[in-house]
A and B are shown apart, each in its own frame.
Chain A
Amino acid sequence: MAPPVRCCVPGERLCSLEEGAAGSGTYTRHGYVCAALAGCLAKTSEDGALPVVSVVRDAESQLLPDVGAIVTCKVCSINSRFAKVHILYIGSTPLKSAFRGTIRREDIRATEKDKVSQVEVYKSFRPGDIVLAKVISLGDMQSNYLLSTAENELGVVVAHSEAGAQMVPISWCEMQCPRMHSKELRKVARVQPEFLQT
């Protein structure tokens, strides 16, 4: 028999700061933890530290990308200086409305970023590719979220060749089309073996 669920509304005083720490969906005021959402109370008791009091809603509220988060995005257009993407997933939670992001040319790769061997955006991404990237900045007035793929685990995960077939990665910078056997240049992500479906 499950214990009765306690529902709370915004502004309701839940407990004092000595009895619990403020978690998600709450805020602190005058030494008390108050609810900020209408939902059910959830108390996680940790050993040693104070229990964390949070308010849980049935539907997930909108997540915002934070600096350092790994996001899954789709390339919508490329340019000689950057690639514009639509951010679709943050971690493993899908977003209801896509955010826009930018991957600059100097953030595509970790090595060989200098002027002599220029990284070419055309040889790293193409429109329609699904890319794993990390958020490096929330952006300022003029720009969107800035993303980076300058790690081995980040880069293109799914790409379609010019013939339309889904390509297979053969190295960190090349993918091959299974139908036409042509090789195309991409900045490929090294996906951990446990995540691959064989």
Chain B
Amino acid sequence: MPGAGGQWPWRGACRDRAMAGLELLSDEGYRVDGRRAGELRKVRARMGVFAQADGSAYIEQGNTKALAVVYGPHEMRGSRSKALHDRALVNCQYSMATFSTGERKRRPHGDRKSSEMTLHLKQTFEAAILTQLYPRSQIDIYVQILQADGGNYCACVNAATLATIDAGIPMRDYVCASSAGFIEDTPLADLNYVEEAAGGPQVALALLPKSDQIALLEMNSRLHEDHLEQVIEAASKACKDVYAVLDQVVRDHVHEVTTLLGE
């Protein structure tokens, strides 16, 4: 019924789509890809993918694939006037491969969305890296999305965390990110592309799990303030689940490296 729910007009739109055959949350509580409301997609990650970079990592969250490469800390390149006298400068670049989306992407980087993501990444990592140890130097973080299936920013943050740990740059804590949405009074964790394109509210949360500090919180669309706490709670729990997986990956990598060196 178009227009049903006068205060929340998009609810009607969701029901329209539901009638068209695309139910984001079925009556039994299953989402389009068969997950439960609070369940994450399968996370697979590897560290030390490139030998020539200081740190690198590859992560797959469901069908979203992201690659992160970290260089640094090194001397400021380019304009020396941007150097900070007491901290390191974190320089990020976010780009999507031209083959990452359904239709060939015209501009891999430099468009508005990429610039905004770049700024978000920079803000997130300036909160986590101990930049006071490297005054007047620069740390570069380059992230590329190889396949985009929702949760692009979150996959980037998780990949960049692993790459920074691989590069040996001191960090306060891991930075784990996850997205969350709100469909039919239920918060959903880790949205995929179909759920993001549906147009409902989406929250992206980047968290430092040990201290429960939020590095970045971003929301699209509209959400009633009564539901905000539930959604943030779901996103936090999803971040902690991601943290458990990333922690295991890092520990395995460190064990492997130390046994190879024979320490």
A residues contacting B by CB (< 8 A) are: 5, 7, 9-13, 25, 27, 29, 34, 36-40, 57-59, 61-62, 64, 96-97, 99-100, 138-142, 144
Contact = CB atoms under 8 A, between A and B. Distances in A.
Interface in B73-107: 73-75, 80-81, 83, 85
Given A27-B172, A100-B75, A64 B130 contact: no
Nearest to A9: B250
B170 A39 contact: no
A183 to B, nearest CB: 36
Interface residues of B, number: 38
B257 A58 contact: yes
Contacts of B218: none
Contact of A10 (B83, B171, B258, B261): B171
Contacts, number: 88
Given A7-B258, A10-B173, A38-B165, 7 more contacts: A9-B247, A36-B170, A37-B168, A58-B257, A138-B135, A142-B80, A144-B80
Contact of A61 (B168, B172, B263): B168
A11 B171 contact: yes
The secondary structure that dominates the A interface is loop
B169 A40 contact: no
A194 to B, nearest CB: 32
14 contacts: A5-B263, A7-B251, A9-B251, A9-B254, A11-B172, A11-B174, A27-B130, A34-B172, A38-B166, A58-B263, A62-B74, A97-B74, A138-B135, A142-B81
Contacts of B174: 9-11
Contact of B137 (A5, A64, A140, A144): A64
A4 B257 CA distance: 15
A13 B172 CA distance: 11
B44 interface: no
Contacts of A39: 168, 254
Interface of B: 54, 72-75, 80-81, 83, 85, 130, 134-137, 165-174, 208-211, 247, 250-251, 253-255, 257-258, 261, 263
Contacts of A59: 168
B263 A40 contact: yes
Contacts of A57: 168
A62 B72 contact: yes
A32 to B, nearest CB: 11
The secondary structure that dominates the B interface is mixed
Given A36-B130, A140-B85, A9 B165 contact: yes
B170 A40 contact: no
A19 B27 CA distance: 55
Contacts of A140: 85
B263 A64 contact: no
Contacts of B251: 7, 9
Nearest to B167: A61
Contact of B169 (A13, A61, A99, A144): A61
Contacts of B263: 5, 40, 58
Given A7-B255, A141-B80, A64 B73 contact: yes
Cβ-closest 8 pairs across A and B = A11-B173, A36-B170, A61-B168, A10-B171, A11-B210, A7-B254, A38-B165, A99-B75
A27 B85 contact: no
A100 to B, nearest CB: 7
A25 B80 CA distance: 27
B170 A10 contact: yes
Contact of B258 (A40, A62, A64): A40
A41 B128 CA distance: 21
A198 to B, nearest CB: 36
Give the interface centre of A9, A13, A34, A61 by most chain B CB atoms within 10 Å. Answer: A9
Given A37-B170, A62-B54, A64-B73, A10 B254 contact: no
B170 to A, nearest CB: 3
Nearest to B255: A7
B53 to A, nearest CB: 11
Contact of B73 (A25, A27, A62): A62
Contacts of A34: 172-173
